[in-house]
């Protein structure tokens, strides 16, 4: 038995897992329409590469990745592209996002595809490229693109690969049922991950002790592979990435650090299975195992569900009773959220659709004032101070929230679960995180704008400094020239003969020479009388022509409005005056 460590805090809510594992993973009829959101992951949304009316096959790329942190989207079934528009998606706010709608044809026809069985002889970079092209993102958390997480361009080698099979959230059994039925394929996926990561020294599957059937299914497949199945006591939330790493290794992941920074990679069971399908079978991620459970549905079971399947399609095939339940939750009761509509689609991170009855999960009771009991601090698995965070979130004291490590909160809901005052603590933390992120973005924009303004201001000031330097240089040059001229004049006077100049002689002077030279240049530039006369004759001829045209326009406008006539009359008079001036100058030149 491998050693394990105990995380602080945590709670033990009712598990309610047995209801949905009494039957094997089922298959649903193909829905009439599939709605594929273009952003089902952290990073840039994909860009559509199909058009409305286009026929597509199962597995065909319908949206391409944009940028490094992005993944493509594929058609989950064959059919026709019937819409590319904003639709409601799986979000607590019911927000709209770009989606592609496929009207299925029922044939479920695949594109041509093939995988690679001898993956050990394929370079890690090529395998990562195949994972990225298959559109695989994390299927147990926030949906981080798997190709980015597995990228070998890191500062230190990966020494530990952790496969997360914890599934600690109540009601959810998607990973449990997948391990029971697909243990061999999952272990094959772990081997592919090991090849990509250059065969880490430690490969562990972390699983809670409430899944004995899954543990038993894994045993024969991991024998002799160097993969350890590490079983530890059930406690919520052991499935958090930081919590699982501590449980299996005893190492605490520093705030702001990723597991790869410490030489570790943590991958979900569902993601591991999808990677096996992508490499060995050549199939993109177009379906996932999803739990449908809760007392408001007549059938509680796990299904291999096509991505893009409307939630209403699952509910209708599981005898959903709207009168028995007041809400439909995507995810579990601890970290899930109530859907504003059952028309939203299943996405790559949807592991559960929970339809509880009123008695099973009653409506939220009104929050009461905090009694400072401290139970939230005892339950926090990250050893935070939820009570302090709650007060600071109410007061919007963002600096204090960050000082108290708000962003270390994994939003597990353990504090809300134990709160006797029914305060929705997690909602306050989520809202505060959103406000802080928005403030950071605005600060970045503000800093960028200030830098641009300061750069512009500095550029103008530099231009002014350069102009002033040129003016100073010109002024100094002028002053130096005058000084040189005065010095030369004084030197000429000093060296002149003391005797009187001969009668009729002109005194020699530098100033006189300069003046004479200037007058000579001016005289040279002056045009001869013949040239002046010719120029005036040309000016007179041009003025007479313009006067004739202006008088004709004035005659034509005799019936026009007064304003137009006044303008034309002024133009005629102006032209006549210029003509008279030119004739006068010509007459003076002739005389």
Matching fold, domains 18-354 and 365-476: no
Stated pTM of the model: 0.76
CATH ID of 18-354, from 3.20.20.80, 3.40.50.11540, 3.40.50.620, 3.40.50.12780: 3.40.50.11540
Neighbours of 336 (CB within 10 A): 22
- Give the pLDDT confidence score for residue 556 in this predicted structure: 74
Tokens of 177: 């049922």
Query: What confidence category does residue 272 fall into, taking pLDDT thresholds of 50, 70 and 90?
Result: very high
SS3 289: strand
- Single out the residue of 185, 127, 196 nearest to residue 157, CA to CA: 196
**pLDDT at 58 exceeding the cut of 60:** yes
State how far the alpha carbon of 444 is from the alpha carbons of 435, 438, 448, 449, 512, in Å: 14, 10, 6, 9, 70
For every residue of 59-105, DSSP letters joined together read T-EEEE--SSS---EE-SS-EEEEEEEEEE-SSTT--EEEEEEEEE-
SS3 9: coil
State how far the alpha carbon of 242 is from the alpha carbons of 199, 251, 260, 264, in Å: 22, 9, 12, 11
Average the pLDDT over 215-222 and give the result. Answer: 96
Name residue 163's beta-bridge partners: 205, 267
275-329, pLDDT tens digit by residue? Answer: 999 999 999 999 999 999 999 999 999 999 999 999 999 999 999 998 888 789 9
The residues near 453 (Cβ < 8 Å, ≥ 6 apart) are none
- Give the pLDDT confidence score for residue 292 in this predicted structure: 97
Q: What is the residue extent of each domain of the chain?
A: 18-354, 365-476, 529-590
The residues near 538 (Cβ < 8 Å, ≥ 6 apart) are none
Tokens of 504: 């009729």
φ, ψ of residue 17 to 5 degrees: the values are: -105, -25
For every residue of 397-444, DSSP letters joined together read -HHHHHHTTGGG-----HHHHH-TT---HHHHHHHHHHHHHHHHHHHH
**pLDDT at 503 exceeding the cut of 50:** no
CATH ID of 365-476, from 2.60.120, 1.10.1060, 1.10.357, 1.10.405: 1.10.1060
Residue-averaged pLDDT of the chain: 88
- Single out the residue of 200, 135, 211 nearest to residue 161, CA to CA: 200
User: Residue 256: CA atoms inside 13 Å, Cβ hemisphere, count?
Assistant: 2
- Single out the residue of 124, 127, 123, 199 nearest to residue 160, CA to CA: 199
Angle between helices 510-525 and 425-494 (to 10 degrees): 110
**pLDDT at 564 exceeding the cut of 70:** yes
Judged by average pLDDT, the poorest of 16-20, 87-91, 203-207 is 87-91
- Single out the residue of 15, 33, 102 nearest to residue 291, CA to CA: 15
Tokens of 340: 């504003």
372-406, pLDDT tens digit by residue? Answer: 999 999 999 999 999 999 999 999 999 999 999 99
DSSP conformational letter for 345: B
- Please state, in angstroms and rounded to a whole number, the distance separating the CA atoms of residues 55 and 102: 9
CA dihedral 326, 331, 336, 339 (to 10 degrees): -50
Average the pLDDT over 60-82 and give the result. Answer: 94
Average the pLDDT over 459-463 and give the result. Answer: 91
136-166, pLDDT tens digit by residue? Answer: 998 977 788 999 989 855 567 899 999 999 9
303: buried, middle or exposed (CB in 10 Å: 19+, 13-18, 0-12)? Answer: buried
Average the pLDDT over 439-468 and give the result. Answer: 90
- Give the pLDDT confidence score for residue 493 in this predicted structure: 57
């Amino acid at each position: 038995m491998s050693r394990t460590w105990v995380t602080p805090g945590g709670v033990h809510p009712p598990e309610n897992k047995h209801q949905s594992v009494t039957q094997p993973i089922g298959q649903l009829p193909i829905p009439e329409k599939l709605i594929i959101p273009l952003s089902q992951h952290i990073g840039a949304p994909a860009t559509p590469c199909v058009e409305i009316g286009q026929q597509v096959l199962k597995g065909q790329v319908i949206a391409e990745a944009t940028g490094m942190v992005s993944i493509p989207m594929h058609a989950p079934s064959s059919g026709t592209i019937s819409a590319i528009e904003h639709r409601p998606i799986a979000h607590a706010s019911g927000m709209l996002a770009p989606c592609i709608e496929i009207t299925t044809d029922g044939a479920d026809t695949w594109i041509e595809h093939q995988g690679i069985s001898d993956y050990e002889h394929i370079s890690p970079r090529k395998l990562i490229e195949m994972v990225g092209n298959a559109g695989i993102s994390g299927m147990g958390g926030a949906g981080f693109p798997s190709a980015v997480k597995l990228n070998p361009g890191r500062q230190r080698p990966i020494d530990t690969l952790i496969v997360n099979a914890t599934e600690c959230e109540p009601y959810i059994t998607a990973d449990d049922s997948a391990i029971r039925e697909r243990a061999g394929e999952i272990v094959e996926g772990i081997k592919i991950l090991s090849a990509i990561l250059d065969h880490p020294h430690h490969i562990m599957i972390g699983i809670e002790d409430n899944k004995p059937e899954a543990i038993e299914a894994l045993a024969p497949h991991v024998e002799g592979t160097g993969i350890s199945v590490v079983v530890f006591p059930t406690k919520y939330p052991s499935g958090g990435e930081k919590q699982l790493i501590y449980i299996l290794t005893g190492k605490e992941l520093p705030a702001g650090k990723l597991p790869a920074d410490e030489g570790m990679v943590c991958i979900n069971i569902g993601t591991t299975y999808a990677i096996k399908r992508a490499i060995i079978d050549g199939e993109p991620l177009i379906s996932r195992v999803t739990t449908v459970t809760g007392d408001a549905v007549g059938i509680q079971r796990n299904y291999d569900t096509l991505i893009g399947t409307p939630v209403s399609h699952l509910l209708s095939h599981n005898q959903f009773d709207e009168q028995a339940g007041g809400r439909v939750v995507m995810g579990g009761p601890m970290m899930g959220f109530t859907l504003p509509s059952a028309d939203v689609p299943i996405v790559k991170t949807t592991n559960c659709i929970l339809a509880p009855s009123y008695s099973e999960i009653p409506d939220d009771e009104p929050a009461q004032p905090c009694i400072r009991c401290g139970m939230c601090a005892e339950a926090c698995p990250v050893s935070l101070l939820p009570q302090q965070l709650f007060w600071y979130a109410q007061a919007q004291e963002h600096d204090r929230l960050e000082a108290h490590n708000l962003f270390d909160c994994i939003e597990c809901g353990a504090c809300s679960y134990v709160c006797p005052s029914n305060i929705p603590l997690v909602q306050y933390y989520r809202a505060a995180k959103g406000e802080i992120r928005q403030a950071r973005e605005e600060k970045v924009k503000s800093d960028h704008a200030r830098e641009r303004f300061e750069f512009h201001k500095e550029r103008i000031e530099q231009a002014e400094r350069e102009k002033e330097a040129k003016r100073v240089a010109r002024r100094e040059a002028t002053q130096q020239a005058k000084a040189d001229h005065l010095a030369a004049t004084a030197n000429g006077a000093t060296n002149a003969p003391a005797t009187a100049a001969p009668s009729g002689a002109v005194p020699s002077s530098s100033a006189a020479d300069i003046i004479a030279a200037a007058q000579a240049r001016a005289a040279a530039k002056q045009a001869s009388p013949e040239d002046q006369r010719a120029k005036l004759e040309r000016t007179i001829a041009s003025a007479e022509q313009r006067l004739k045209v202006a008088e004709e326009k004035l005659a034509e406008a005799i019936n026009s409005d007064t304003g137009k006539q006044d303008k034309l009359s002024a133009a005629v008079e102006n032209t006549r005056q210029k003509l008279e001036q030119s004739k006068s100058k010509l007459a003076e030149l002739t005389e």
